[in-house]
């Protein structure tokens, strides 16, 4: 007999599994390119890419690292994503619990009175009396068609999608914070340049004024020098406004009210691992959290088709009730007070106005939409990587040329001042050269910032920016195909 049970158990499980309706998940095919457009380095299969770096490996500025640590713990978007995971986990537990039997207990006492003109309902013929009862009920739906199993599969995929969404929130937070921090450090550099330029131009104004008093210069040159001073003075409050607003943005990302932000390395001291290759395009599908989230949503939509189709088939449930009932509380536990009922319930939809079949068509459409969104997410990811690669390469070239221009104008400014003091040239040449040099300095600071931001954009496009922690998914993932 024991051997028969061991044989029948797996056989019944096999029969139940074979009755599951609906399509099983298979990852849609996408022809990934062999190499990203704009990637000048050959992709090695096992090489570590920029997208594999954790944020504390990518960014070496201790102040920025501390800001990211605070943001990961306090940012409201991250906290909201965490609560959505908790909600999705509870919904998965609800769906899984529906596959298990339901046992309820009940106890009651009642006083019954019957009309004198009615038929006596109590065995004693009395018109009123007490009734005591307690017992339990058992019900278990036999999931022949896999409706409950498909619902659990969908709920688990939705839970995993919520976890991927949290990783996406972390990725966006880390890269947005790094972007804002580099913008802040660039503005700090602009403010430093503006103040240094203002001090230099004030000295030039003193020199021109002195020359005018001695009759070597004229009032026009004095006014030109004053224009230079005023221009530098105008730049300072505008830059200070941008600095404070950027600090406010960073404070909000940290989950704090607007306030000052701690600084670390200057803009020119930032050292990011620019030599890390982009890697193989096929690895992007398993690295980017938005693609992984889109795939889990597709898995859920695919499972919902089976759940909807199973509603077209009969629902079979085992039911049982039992307990004790008596008019006398003292006889309640007597054997003659016991009652029980065991049965099998079958429910078959016959007419429902076409709602069930329309529901199937709706779930099939949602699944096709999920496929389109999944493929679209992949396509956009490859575009973002290609844009980031060409952006970083070209912005680096621009920064190199801007450095050459700035050095040239610095030398030209020095020579112009020497020529003016020697009486060889008019102050107009000094004025023009000084203005060009100031603009070139600001342009170089912006070019250095843009190069850093392009590298952050590439890091984000390759799927970097979040740290994978201990898996949140339940260990018994059932029949869900992860596709990884």
Per-residue pLDDT of 353-380, as tens digits, reads 899 999 999 999 999 999 999 999 999 9
Higher pLDDT, 191 or 43: 191
Helix residue ranges, H only, 62-146? 62-74, 76-97
Neighbours of 367 (CB within 10 A): 21
Q: Give the position of tokens 């029980």.
A: 340
Question: What are the Cα distances from residue 270, in Å, to 55, 64, 145, 181?
Answer: 14, 11, 60, 11
Q: Give the position of tokens 């230099």.
A: 200
pLDDT of 150 reads 93
pLDDT of 8 reads 43
Q: What is the mean pLDDT of residues 135-156?
A: 90
pTM equals 0.82
Helix (H, G, I), strand (E, B) or coil at 36: coil
**Which range in 344-358, 414-428, 456-470 is most confidently predicted, on average pLDDT?**
344-358
Phi, psi angles (nearest 5°) of residue 253: -60, -30
171-180, 391-400, 425-434: which range is least confident on average?
425-434
Residue 401 Rama label (left phi>0; alpha psi -120 to 50; beta): alpha
Percent of the chain having pLDDT more than 70?
A: 86
Q: Is residue 119 very low, low, confident or very high in pLDDT (cuts 50, 70, 90)?
A: low
Q: What is the mean pLDDT of residues 153-164?
A: 94
Quickly list DSSP for 273-342: -TTS----GGGHHHH-HHHHHHHHHHHHHHHHHHHHHHTTS-EEEEEEEEEEEESSGGGTTSGGGEEEEE
**Which range in 255-259, 417-421, 478-482 is most confidently predicted, on average pLDDT?**
255-259
Asked if residues 69 and 178 have their Cβ atoms less than 8 Å apart, the reply is: no
Phi, psi angles (nearest 5°) of residue 131: -135, 125
239-240-244 Cα angle (round to 5) = 120
- Residue 483, pLDDT > 50, answer no
pLDDT of 121 reads 52
Mean pLDDT across the chain? 84
pLDDT of 429 reads 81
- Distance separating alpha carbons of residues 311 and 347, to the nearest angstrom: 10
Q: What is the mean pLDDT of residues 292-310?
A: 94
Asked if residues 52 and 299 have their Cβ atoms less than 8 Å apart, the reply is: no
Q: What is the mean pLDDT of residues 1-11?
A: 46
pLDDT of 358 reads 94
State the virtual CA torsion across 177, 181, 187, 192 in degrees, nearest 10. Answer: 170
Q: Is residue 474 very low, low, confident or very high in pLDDT (cuts 50, 70, 90)?
A: very low
Length of the chain measured in residues: 484
Q: 174 is written with which tokens? A: 């880390």
19-28, 47-56, 120-129: which range is least confident on average?
120-129
Q: What is the mean pLDDT of residues 274-286?
A: 79
**Considering just the CA atoms, what is the radius of gyration of the chain in Å?**
37
Sign for the pseudo-dihedral over CA of 65, 70, 73, 76: negative
Per-residue pLDDT of 227-271, as tens digits, reads 888 888 988 999 999 999 999 999 999 999 999 999 999 999 888
State the virtual CA torsion across 376, 381, 387, 393 in degrees, nearest 10. Answer: -160
pLDDT of 122 reads 54
22-36, 106-120, 139-153: which range is least confident on average?
106-120
Per-residue pLDDT of 53-89, as tens digits, reads 888 888 989 999 999 999 999 999 999 999 999 999 9
Q: What is the mean pLDDT of residues 389-396?
A: 91
pLDDT of 472 reads 41
- Distance separating alpha carbons of residues 140 and 467, to the nearest angstrom: 43
Higher pLDDT, 268 or 129: 268
Asked if residues 454 and 179 have their Cβ atoms less than 8 Å apart, the reply is: no
Task: Specify burial of residue 398 (Cβ count, 10 A radius: 0-12, 13-18, 19+).
Answer: middle
Asked if residues 171 and 460 have their Cβ atoms less than 8 Å apart, the reply is: yes
């Amino acid at each position: 007999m024991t051997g028969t049970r061991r044989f029948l158990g797996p056989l019944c499980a096999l029969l139940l599994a074979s009755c599951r309706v609906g399509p099983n998940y298979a990852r849609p095919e996408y022809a990934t390119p062999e190499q990203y457009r704009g990637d000048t380095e050959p992709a090695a299969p096992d090489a570590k890419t920029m997208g594999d770096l954790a944020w504390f490996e990518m960014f070496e500025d201790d102040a920025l690292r501390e800001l990211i640590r605070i943001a990961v713990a306090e940012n409201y978007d991250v906290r909201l994503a965490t609560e959505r995971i908790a909600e999705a986990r509870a919904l998965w537990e609800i769906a899984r619990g529906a596959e298990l039997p339901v046992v309820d207990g009940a106890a009651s006492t009642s006083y019954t009175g019957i009309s004198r003109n009615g038929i006596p309902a109590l065995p004693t013929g009395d018109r009123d009396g007490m009734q005591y009862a307690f017992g339990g009920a058992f019900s278990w739906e036999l999931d022949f068609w896999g409706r409950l199993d498909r619902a659990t599969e969908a709920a688990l995929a939705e839970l995993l999608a919520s976890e991927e969404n949290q990783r996406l929130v972390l990725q966006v937070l880390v890269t947005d914070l790094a972007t804002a921090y580099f913008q802040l450090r660039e503005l700090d550099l602009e403010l430093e340049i503006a103040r240094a330029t203002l001090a230099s131009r004030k000295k030039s104004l003193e020199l021109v004024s002195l020359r005018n008093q001695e009759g070597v210069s004229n009032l026009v040159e004095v006014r030109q020098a004053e224009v230079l001073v005023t221009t530098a003075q105008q730049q300072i409050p505008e830059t200070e406004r941008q600095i404070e607003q950027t600090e406010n943005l960073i404070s909000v990302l940290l989950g704090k009210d607007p306030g000052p932000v701690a600084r670390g390395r200057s803009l020119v001291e930032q050292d990011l691992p620019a030599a890390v290759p982009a890697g193989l395009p096929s690895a992007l599908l398993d690295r980017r959290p938005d693609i992984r989230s889109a795939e889990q949503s597709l898995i859920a939509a695919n499972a919902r088709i089976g759940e909807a189709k199973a509603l077209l088939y009969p629902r079979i449930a085992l039911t049982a009730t039992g307990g004790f009932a008596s008019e006398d509380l003292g006889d309640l536990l007597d054997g003659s007070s016991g009652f029980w009922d065991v049965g099998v319930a079958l429910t078959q939809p016959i007419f429902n106005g076409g709602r069930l079949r329309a529901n199937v068509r709706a779930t099939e459409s949602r699944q096709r939409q999920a496929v389109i969104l999944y493929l679209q997410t992949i396509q956009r990811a490859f575009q973002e990587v290609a844009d980031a690669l060409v952006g970083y390469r070209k912005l680096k070239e621009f920064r190199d040329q801007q450095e050459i221009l700035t050095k040239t104008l610095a030398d030209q400014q020095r020579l112009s001042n020497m020529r003016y003091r020697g009486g060889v040239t008019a102050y107009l040449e000094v004025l023009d050269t000084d203005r060009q040099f100031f603009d070139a300095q600001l342009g170089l600071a912006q070019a250095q910032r843009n190069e850093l931001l392009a590298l952050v954009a590439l890091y984000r496009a390759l799927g970097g920016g979040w740290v994978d922690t201990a898996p949140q998914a339940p260990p018994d993932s059932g029949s869900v195909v992860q596709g990884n």
